[in-house]
Copies of this chain bind each other. A is one copy, B any other.
Amino acid sequence: MGLLDPNRLFPAEPGLRAIAQHLYDGVRDLPIVSPHGHCDPRWFAENTRFPNPAELFVVPDHYVFRMLVSQGVDLADLGVPRSDGGAVETDPRAIWRRFAAHMHLFRGTPSAIWLNHAFETVFGLTEPLNADTADAYYDHIDAKLAEPAFRPRALFDQFNIEALATTEGALDDLQWHRAIRDSDWQGRVITTYRPDAVVDPDFEGFLENLEAFGALTGEDITTWEGYLNAHRKRRAYFKDFGATASDHGHPTARTENLPQLEAAALFQMVRTGQATAEEAEAFRGQMLTEMARMSLEDGLVLQIHPGSRRNHSAQVFAGYGRDKGFDIPGRTDYVAALKPMLDAVGMEKDLTIILFTLDETTYGRELAPLAGAYPALRLGPPWWFFDSAEGIRRFRETTTETCGFYNTVGFNDDTRAFCSIPARHDVSRRSDCAFLAQLVGTGRLSEGEATEVAYDLTYRLVKEGYRL
């Protein structure tokens, strides 16, 4: 039978399904352009084998382990390291069995589709994973991982990836990107400038990070001018390693456009650890506008990923640290929040600011109206909890009528789960084709137009939007 329905995610109505299939046939085999994500560049630099099935599919994937935790499985029993170095499960097969025994939890979730897609198309598995098949799965995948064809670079090629952007902090020396560049491998793996650790006063170790930022760039980090110059130098360095974009993960979309004297004074409060919560928030906001101005200088695309309330559980944060599946979206305002930045640079035609959201209520009310007016704005695809069939449908249904297709930028997989990349892009292509089929089937778009739009959404807009 197989794990994958060839018609999955297409409309059930036969007429619409035929249209969707036809559109999908035209984009299914286009190269993957992955302009934003969290793969580890070391994989491609070293090209050693992935250690085992659990470390490939379970330990790094917060979509997976959070669901198990929500049903009473301990993070430690899934091999997630404790902050205090305390004992956690070290047997990958035991972790795998726990995961397999809980596969039913993923029914109806995108994780099920992503996992099954990788199981079948990458590893050739066709029986459902569950407690009974756990060991056979483990053995099969583990054996495959030992083969040369399952090394990172080989999979990169097999996945037909044209470009893959990773995300590195401002202090990263990009050694793995250097190693890739210095190798004879031709795969295009580029970096992205993500300076949260030296921009967000609430980031762990912020003051030390600032020191390191100054040391790394040779700039006098005690002055506002020196601080901005340090960013300019790091942006240039990242551009050297292929970066075409910066990325900013802030709790809100707040921006500011203070007079430079005020901004400099604010920086002094921040730099000396004296900033109030409100000042910290204002500083993050000011820095978005500064980054946008630097983008006008150096051409980097500005990505804003706001609205996640990070590390919601104090207990999990204390026990396991960041990024453990307890980041929860919150209400996000864009209309007032972005106005200072947009008043400064929103009408610039040579600037691209890509907005993301975890608050779907803003699609129709705020984001599409903004992106349908300001030349500098584009909408990023559904993010995180919403990069799914239903999430993509809602995104298209609530943005397209107001800002069209051409103020959007195609798909981001945004993942650290390497084997899910083809699956995620496939879900996106199928979901967009399903939406287009609906428009064609209800007389809102001709089939010729839809064919063009499908190509644009899959390939052209992402390359243009990210200047790849």
Report if A369 contacts B (CB, 8 A).
yes
Given contacts A12-B11, A113-B444, A443-B5, contact A329 B369 (CB under 8 A): yes
Contact at A385–B360, with CB atoms within 8 Å?
Answer: no
Tell me the complex Cα distance, A364–B394, Å.
11
- Using CB atoms, name the residue of chain B closest to A317: B343
Could you tell me which residues of chain A, from 319 to 341, have a CB within 8 Å of some CB in chain B? Answer: 325-326, 328-331, 333, 335-336, 339
User: What is the 8 Å Cβ interface bit string for chain A, positions 361-372, against chain B (1 contact, 0 not)?
Assistant: 100111011111
Given contacts A11-B442, A110-B401, contact A336 B315 (CB under 8 A): no
Contact of A312 among B72, B339, B361, B365 (CB under 8 A): B339
Contact at B443–A404, with CB atoms within 8 Å?
Answer: no
Contact at A328–B369, with CB atoms within 8 Å?
Answer: yes
In the complex, identify which listed stretch (A100-108, A218-226, A298-306) lies at the interface while the others stay far away: A100-108
Could you tell me which residues of chain A, from 336 to 351, have a CB within 8 Å of some CB in chain B? Answer: 336, 339, 342-343, 346-347, 349
Quick one: copies of this chain in the complex? Answer: 3
Count residues of chain A with CB under 8 A from any CB of chain B.
Answer: 94
Report if A400 contacts B (CB, 8 A).
yes
Tell me the complex Cα distance, A446–B347, Å.
50
User: What is the 8 Å Cβ interface bit string for chain A, positions 386-398, against chain B (1 contact, 0 not)?
Assistant: 1011110010011
A12 partner residues in chain B, CB cutoff 8 A: 11, 13, 15-16, 438, 441-442
In the complex, identify which listed stretch (A83-91, A280-288, A373-381) lies at the interface while the others stay far away: A373-381
Contact of A389 among B388, B390, B444 (CB under 8 A): B444
Report if A419 contacts B (CB, 8 A).
no
In the complex, identify which listed stretch (A25-33, A62-70, A119-127, A170-178) lies at the interface while the others stay far away: A62-70
Tell me the complex Cα distance, A128–B452, Å.
15
Report if A159 contacts B (CB, 8 A).
no
Report if A206 contacts B (CB, 8 A).
no
Among A9, A386, A400, A443, the most chain B Cβ lie within 10 Å of the Cβ of A443
Contact at B364–A386, with CB atoms within 8 Å?
Answer: yes
A328 partner residues in chain B, CB cutoff 8 A: 335, 366, 369-370, 373
Given contacts A107-B405, A390-B397, contact A312 B373 (CB under 8 A): yes
Contact at B449–A107, with CB atoms within 8 Å?
Answer: yes
How distant is A345 from chain B, measured CB to nearest CB, in Å?
A: 10
Given contacts A108-B400, A406-B105, A449-B104, contact A342 B365 (CB under 8 A): no
Contact at B368–A385, with CB atoms within 8 Å?
Answer: yes
Tell me the complex Cα distance, A72–B66, Å.
43
Contact at A442–B9, with CB atoms within 8 Å?
Answer: yes
Tell me the complex Cα distance, A254–B113, Å.
36
Could you tell me which residues of chain A, from 63 to 82, have a CB within 8 Å of some CB in chain B? Answer: 66-67, 69-72
A–B Cβ pairs within 8 angstroms, 8 of them: A5-B442, A8-B444, A9-B444, A67-B403, A70-B373, A72-B349, A328-B370, A385-B401
Going nearest first, the 4 A-B pairs with the smallest beta carbon separation are A5-B443, A8-B443, A12-B441, A108-B400
Residues of chain A at the chain B interface (Cβ within 8 Å): 4-16, 66-67, 69-72, 104-110, 112-113, 128, 309, 312-316, 325-326, 328-331, 333, 335-336, 339, 342-343, 346-347, 349, 358-361, 364-366, 368-375, 377, 385-386, 388-391, 394, 397-398, 400-407, 438-439, 441-446, 449, 452-453
